[in-house]
């Protein structure tokens, strides 16, 4: 194994063991500490470490009893989380005195790192934590407890699902079986098994210390698992921002384990990856990018969302996708989520305006902001967008189907082509968004929210807006139906119904039955009228964030929209009379 070539090695002595520590990159840079799992040694991180070493001070160490670190004597009681925390602090003090480190843990490396980021004595020593395939035993204990105390068919299914995936944990608790197995066929066949089942590349994975590491590592389980799951700590709250990377095809851990994790982690960034358990070896590029991005964000102070920003605790790190984000309500919404520290994907058919929104979002405080070009009415373009976003950033947590166009003119002057254009964008755009991103949200089964921008025109008939109002009424009903369907999966759906909002929509809206000159005149008039009303898109954005937090079904925004909503329910006749009058435009 040569990939840790160039690494500087040192020994750190702590609590009767001698830890083998390797360093890459300049100690002037922020320290990223990579903690390996079971049955591994620090070399599992080789491919990730070399990718980070040009920007960070990368530190790896063999956990006690593994690789070239010595084992405690006796083994029993030598691997408790308290002792592992002593080791972490000793290494951190040696390699990064006086400056907190960014932890990254995989498998048992993640399990123990959860301890490091949730116990009080490490406060100030951990700058951030990226967790991959290894839950906190305390959170896991509470997760089990809640499902046992309040069982529902769904919760029992989740318990059984994780129970089946934990078969190896029961085996590891048996007295000598694991030791014998690892010294025998399992030890020899392990690299081939990883290659076949996990698609781990065959790059000379070190096997020399494997039987010994695996036998020692069994004590990680025996010393901690039963005890912690039975009596989980009540105060296991993270004192640093956490990035959770969930491989969706992990054979050992259910995605469900991180349900409700926000309760323990105030600043949580979720990422998902279509991969198996050993992502440090199978997806080092993706992992190194995400670690670098997250660490850089923390170093720049980006996850520290100012307390004055409402809902910062709710949206920090969430992946939010907004369509029609290049202007008006879409841009304001993207920026409002950005100010809460969300990660924002700004989509527009105009790539330049989307790029500008992404740039503004970064300055507003987004933990990441990216621009994508797509026409929401184009099914294939949307499918491509969906695949790209999933591959680059994971499953969208909050989807805002906002892109829309205006069309004004009587029914008799509206051509089939006009109908198609407005329905393609205003209705089909929403359908494509909900189908593609909504499906991934549902499959991930960790909740989420879909916001569809309808309009007060959805419940207020008008002789001037038959096509536009029809498209928005359809969006409203689609949202209601989808809300019913997804409720059981913890996914909220909100229909937002703004009234008159001062955006560019008036200058791009089409008017039917008139020549180009008259159309321009009407656009100018509408723009003046909307300008006079002067209701800012930022207020609609506030209403959208509020709708997500409160999981509201239908939200009329602006006083006239609220009035129309009220009248549609209690005074429909009055609205019908109003609909017959010629509009002011």
- The correct pick among 343, 349, 367, 440 for binding ligand NAP (CB under 6 A) is 349
Work out whether 353 is an interface residue with ligand NAP (CB under 6 A).
Answer: yes
| Alpha carbon distances (Å) from 111 to 84, 117, 232, 241, 294 | 11, 10, 13, 16, 19
Q: Rounded to whole angstroms, how far apart are CA atoms 451 and 467?
A: 21
DSSP three-state, residue 188 = helix
Smallest gap from residue 438 Cβ to ligand NAP (A): 18
Positive or negative: CA dihedral 69, 73, 74, 80: negative
DSSP three-state, residue 357 = helix
Cα-based angle 134, 137, 138 (whole degrees, multiple of 5)? 135
- The correct pick among 46, 96, 327, 470 for binding ligand NAP (CB under 6 A) is 327
Closer to ligand NAP at the Cβ: 113 or 506? 506
468 is known as an active-site residue? yes
Largest CA distance in the chain: 90
Smallest gap from residue 130 Cβ to ligand NAP (A): 33
Smallest gap from residue 427 Cβ to ligand NAP (A): 10
The first and second tokens of residue 92, run together, are: 């951190």
The gap from C-alpha 414 to its chain's centroid, in whole angstroms, comes to 43
Closer to ligand NAP at the Cβ: 180 or 504? 504
Work out whether 504 is an interface residue with ligand NAP (CB under 6 A).
Answer: yes
What track of x and - describes contact with ligand NAP for positions 284 through 323 (by CB under 6 A)?
---------------------------------------x
Q: Rounded to whole angstroms, how far apart are CA atoms 13 and 344?
A: 45
Preceding omega of 93 cis (within 30 degrees of 0): no
Work out whether 329 is an interface residue with ligand NAP (CB under 6 A).
Answer: yes
With CB under 6 A as the contact rule, which of the stretches 118-126, 176-184, 251-259, 495-503 interacts with ligand NAP? 495-503
The first and second tokens of residue 26, run together, are: 């300049």
Work out whether 503 is an interface residue with ligand NAP (CB under 6 A).
Answer: yes
Closer to ligand NAP at the Cβ: 207 or 508? 508
Closer to ligand NAP at the Cβ: 131 or 506? 506
Closer to ligand NAP at the Cβ: 119 or 374? 374
Closer to ligand NAP at the Cβ: 115 or 375? 375
Smallest gap from residue 503 Cβ to ligand NAP (A): 3
- Of the candidates 205, 468, 530, 535, the residue annotated as catalytic is 468
Show Cβ contacts of residue 163 under 8 Å, excluding neighbours closer than 6 positions. Answer: none
> Could you count the other beta carbons within 10 Å of the beta carbon of residue 114?
26
With contact defined as beta carbons under 8 Å apart, do 331 and 355 qualify?
Answer: no
SS3 content of the chain, % helix, strand, coil (to 5): 50, 15, 35
With contact defined as beta carbons under 8 Å apart, do 69 and 11 qualify?
Answer: no
DSSP three-state, residue 408 = strand
* Contacts (CB under 6 A) with ligand NAP, residues 373-432: 375-377, 402-405, 425, 429
Work out whether 466 is an interface residue with ligand NAP (CB under 6 A).
Answer: no
Burial classification of residue 148, based on how many CB atoms lie within 10 Å of its CB (0-12 exposed, 13-18 middle, 19 or more buried): exposed
Smallest gap from residue 561 Cβ to ligand NAP (A): 8
Work out whether 541 is an interface residue with ligand NAP (CB under 6 A).
Answer: no
Q: At what angle do helices 351-364 and 328-339 cross, to 10 degrees?
A: 30
With CB under 6 A as the contact rule, which of the stretches 113-121, 192-200, 334-342, 494-502 interacts with ligand NAP? 494-502
Smallest gap from residue 455 Cβ to ligand NAP (A): 4
Work out whether 328 is an interface residue with ligand NAP (CB under 6 A).
Answer: yes
Compute and round to an integer the Cα radius of gyration of the chain: 28
Work out whether 324 is an interface residue with ligand NAP (CB under 6 A).
Answer: yes
Which residues are known to be catalytic?
Answer: 468
Summarize as ranges the residues that interact with ligand NAP (CB under 6 A): 323-324, 326-330, 348-350, 353, 375-377, 402-405, 425, 429, 453, 455, 498, 500-501, 503-505, 508, 537
């Amino acid at each position: 194994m040569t990939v840790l070539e160039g690494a500087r090695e040192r020994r750190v002595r702590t609590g009767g063991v001698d830890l083998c520590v390797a360093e890459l990159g300049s100690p002037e840079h922020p320290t990223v500490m990579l903690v390996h799992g079971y049955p591994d040694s620090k070399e599992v991180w080789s491919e990730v470490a070399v990718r980070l070493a040009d920007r960070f001070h990368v530190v790896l160490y063999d956990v006690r009893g593994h690789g070239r670190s010595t084992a405690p004597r006796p083994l029993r009681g030598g691997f408790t989380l308290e002792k592992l925390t002593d080791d972490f602090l000793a290494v951190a003090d040696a390699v990064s005195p006086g400056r907190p480190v960014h932890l990254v843990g995989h498998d048992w490396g993640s399990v123990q790192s959860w301890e490091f980021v949730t116990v009080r004595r490490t406060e100030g020593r951990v700058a951030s934590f990226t967790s991959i395939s290894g839950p906190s035993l305390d959170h896991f204990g509470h997760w089990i407890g809640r499902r046992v105390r309040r069982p529902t068919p769904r919760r029992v299914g989740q318990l059984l699902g994780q129970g089946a995936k934990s078969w190896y944990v029961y085996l590891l608790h048996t007295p000598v079986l694991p030791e014998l197995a690892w010294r025998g066929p399992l030890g020899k066949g392990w690299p081939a098994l990883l290659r076949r089942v996990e698609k781990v590349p065959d790059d000379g994975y070190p096997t020399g210390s494997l039987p010994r590491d695996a036998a020692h590592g069994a004590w990680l389980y025996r010393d901690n698992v039963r005890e912690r799951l039975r009596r989980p700590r009540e105060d296991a709250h993270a004192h640093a921002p956490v990035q959770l990377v969930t491989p969706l095809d992990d054979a050992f851990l259910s995605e469900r384990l991180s349900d409700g994790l926000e309760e323990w982690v105030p600043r949580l960034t979720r990422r998902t990856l279509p991969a198996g358990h050993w992502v440090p070896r199978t997806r080092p590029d993706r992992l190194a990018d995400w670690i670098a991005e997250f660490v850089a964000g923390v170093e720049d102070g980006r996850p520290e969302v100012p307390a004055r920003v409402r809902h910062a605790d709710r949206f920090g790190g969430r992946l939010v996708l907004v369509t029609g984000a290049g202007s008006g309500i879409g841009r304001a919404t993207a920026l409002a989520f950005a100010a809460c520290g969300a990660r924002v994907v700004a989509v527009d058919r105009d790539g330049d305006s989307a790029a500008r929104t992404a740039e503004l979002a970064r300055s507003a405080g987004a933990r990441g902001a990216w621009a994508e070009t797509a026409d929401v009415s184009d099914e294939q373009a949307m499918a491509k967008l969906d695949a790209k976003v999933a591959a680059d950033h994971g499953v969208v947590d909050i989807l805002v189907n906002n892109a829309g166009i205006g069309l004004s003119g009587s029914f008799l002057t509206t051509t089939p082509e006009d109908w198609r254009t407005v329905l393609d964008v205003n209705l089909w755009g929403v359908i494509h968004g909900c189908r593609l991103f909504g499906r991934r949200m549902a499959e991930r089964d960790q909740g989420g929210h879909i916001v569809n921008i309808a309009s007060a025109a959805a419940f207020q008939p008008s002789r001037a807006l038959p096509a536009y109002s029809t498209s928005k009424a359809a969006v409203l009903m689609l949202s209601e139906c989808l809300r019913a369907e997804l409720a059981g999966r913890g996914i909220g759906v909100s229909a937002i119904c703004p009234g008159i909002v001062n955006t560019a929509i008036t200058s791009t809206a089409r008017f039917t039955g008139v020549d180009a000159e008259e159309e321009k005149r009407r656009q100018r008039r509408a723009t003046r009228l909307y300008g006079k009303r002067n209701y800012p898109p930022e207020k609609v954005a506030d209403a959208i964030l509020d709708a997500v937090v409160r999981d509201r079904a239908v939200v009329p925004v602006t006083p006239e929209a609220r009035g129309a909503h009220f009248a549609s329910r209690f005074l429909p006749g009055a609205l019908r009379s109003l609909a017959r009058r010629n509009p002011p435009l």
